[in-house]
């Protein structure tokens, strides 16, 4: 079996280092908001290139609190993509605002900046671009639109730590960058976790208060907030892993290019395209393939752990039925939803395994065609 992700191989590489740090935390008696949390926040901000960063419970919290800090809520609209994980949109709903979905770009799976302006109304307050699968969204155009229409920008960087657009890391373009340390992400913890980045002191202070039950001073609460912290064990683990992230992202990229080369002689497979002037970190390696569902099923039976991210676009989820979207509203999103399939992708994946994956995908596709 070649799994979509094998976290145990990474552990084999760095387990000793992690065990040492974790044992030290256990013995220290300091489990929340300790020295590792503080150090990680500084190291993370340095890495990304933002002024501030704050550890939180999850990427979902980062997105939700970003909108709260920007005073976005009831009666407001936030533009985003429907081709993403549900948390991008549920953060908007949790803040009390309404998601407005814009179709994707044909090549990159990310929001099409040329379709954003048509979706802007007097109620629009912000845009949430998602750097899906580790590929930066078109941040030049998006920031330009936001400036011209006086909109805030919250970047969903949960799949894209380390990705760059025109030499600048994602998470530094908008008002906030939101990151997840869910174990399957490129920088994954060993439990839940998240981080928010920003470079504005006032906005940062607001996040600090919101995540502390709405109060900057202990036991004094000015507004409704939440409890959201990154625990010390996760922070210690993530500090070790942050030292490797560039190496791991590079290995992912090399694996992606190896897949591209192996698929090159099979025009029936559409391999991922990169937006110009970017550094893509391949959280997923996602192809487009016909007879997708049958191929996917055959791959599972033949030992290849492919996955569908995501089987239902967000505008057609039951969760959003009151928004009134119907089939056909976002044609490119709906088309790609039926074609995409993500293949095994992680830094330690071997060239041999990749050859097996490609061979198996091609064989399975042929089987579906013969069956018809
Ligand atoms: C993982 C993910 C999230 C949510 O992160 P959690 O830490 O699981 O809450 C949000 N958006 C995208 C695109 C993600 O991939």
Task: Give which of 333, 349, 361, 348 is closest to 271, Cα–Cα.
Answer: 361
Q: Are 133 and 161 in contact (CB under 8 A)?
A: no
Q: Do domains 7-102+110-242 and 245-371 have the same CATH topology?
A: no
- CATH for 7-102+110-242 is 3.40.640.10
The pLDDT > 90 percentage for the chain reads 98
* Residue 88 in contact with ligand 1 by CB distance below 6 A: yes
Q: 88-144: per-residue pLDDT in tens?
A: 999 999 999 999 999 999 899 999 999 999 999 999 999 999 999 999 999 999 999
Residue 370 banded pLDDT, cuts 50, 70, 90: confident
* Residue 85 in contact with ligand 1 by CB distance below 6 A: yes
Distance 85 CA to ligand 1 centre (A): 7
**CATH, domain 245-371, list 3.60.15.10, 3.30.70.590, 3.30.1360.200, 3.90.1150.10:** 3.90.1150.10
Residue 371: pLDDT over 70: no
The per-residue DSSP string of 54-116 comes to EEES-HHHHHHHHHHHTT--TT-EEEEESSS-THHHHHHHHTT-EEEEEPBPTTTSSB-GGGT
Residue 15 banded pLDDT, cuts 50, 70, 90: very high
Nearest-atom number in ligand 1 for the CA of 159 is 15
Average of pLDDT values for 74-98? 98
Residue 286 banded pLDDT, cuts 50, 70, 90: very high
Q: Is pLDDT larger for residue 218 or for residue 169?
A: 169
Q: 152-186: per-residue pLDDT in tens?
A: 999 999 999 999 999 999 999 999 999 999 999 99
* Residue 57 in contact with ligand 1 by CB distance below 6 A: no
Task: Give which of 165, 168, 175 is closest to 78, Cα–Cα.
Answer: 175
* Residue 87 in contact with ligand 1 by CB distance below 6 A: yes
Enumerate the domain spans of the chain: 7-102+110-242, 245-371
**What is the average pLDDT score of the chain?**
97
* Residue 59 in contact with ligand 1 by CB distance below 6 A: yes
Tell me, what DSSP letter sits at residue 275? Answer: P
């Amino acid at each position: 079996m070649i799994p979509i992700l094998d976290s145990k191989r990474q552990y084999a590489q760095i387990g000793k280092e992690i065990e040492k740090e974790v044992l030290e935390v256990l013995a220290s008696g300091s489990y929340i908001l300790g020295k590792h949390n503080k150090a990680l926040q500084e190291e993370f901000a340095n890495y990304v290139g933002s002024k501030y960063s704050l550890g939180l419970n999850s990427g979902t919290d980062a997105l939700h609190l970003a909108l709260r800090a920007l005073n976005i809520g009831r009666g407001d609209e936030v533009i985003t993509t429907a081709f993403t994980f549900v948390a991008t949109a549920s953060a908007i709903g949790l803040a009390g605002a309404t998601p407005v979905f814009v179709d994707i770009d044909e090549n990159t799976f990310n929001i099409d900046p040329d379709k954003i302006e048509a979706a802007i109304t007097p109620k629009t307050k912000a845009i949430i671009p998602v750097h899906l699968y580790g590929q930066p969204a078109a941040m030049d155009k998006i920031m330009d639109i936001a400036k011209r229409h006086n909109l805030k920008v919250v970047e969903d960087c949960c799949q894209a730590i380390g990705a760059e657009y025109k030499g600048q890391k994602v998470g530094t373009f908008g008002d906030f960058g939101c990151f997840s340390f869910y174990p399957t992400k490129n920088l994954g913890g060993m439990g839940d976790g998240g981080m928010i980045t920003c470079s504005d002191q006032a906005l940062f202070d607001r996040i600090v208060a919101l995540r502390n039950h709405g109060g900057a001073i202990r036991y004094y609460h000015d507004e409704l907030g939440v409890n959201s912290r990154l625990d010390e064990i996760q922070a210690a683990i993530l500090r070790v892993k942050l030292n490797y992230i560039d190496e791991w992202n590079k290995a992912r990229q090399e694996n992606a290019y190896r897949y591209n080369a192996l698929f090159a002689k099979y025009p029936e497979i559409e391999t991922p395209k990169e937006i110009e002037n970017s550094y893509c970190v391949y959280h997923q390696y996602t192809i487009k393939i016909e007879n997708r569902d049958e191929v996917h099923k055959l791959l599972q039976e033949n030992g290849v752990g492919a996955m569908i991210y995501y089987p239902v676009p967000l505008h057609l989820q039951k969760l959003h039925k009151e928004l009134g979207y119907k089939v056909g509203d976002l044609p490119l999103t709906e088309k790609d939803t039926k074609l995409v399939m993500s293949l095994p992708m992680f830094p330690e994946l071997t060239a041999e395994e990749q050859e097996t994956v490609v061979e198996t995908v091609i064989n399975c596709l042929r089987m579906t065609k013969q069956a018809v």
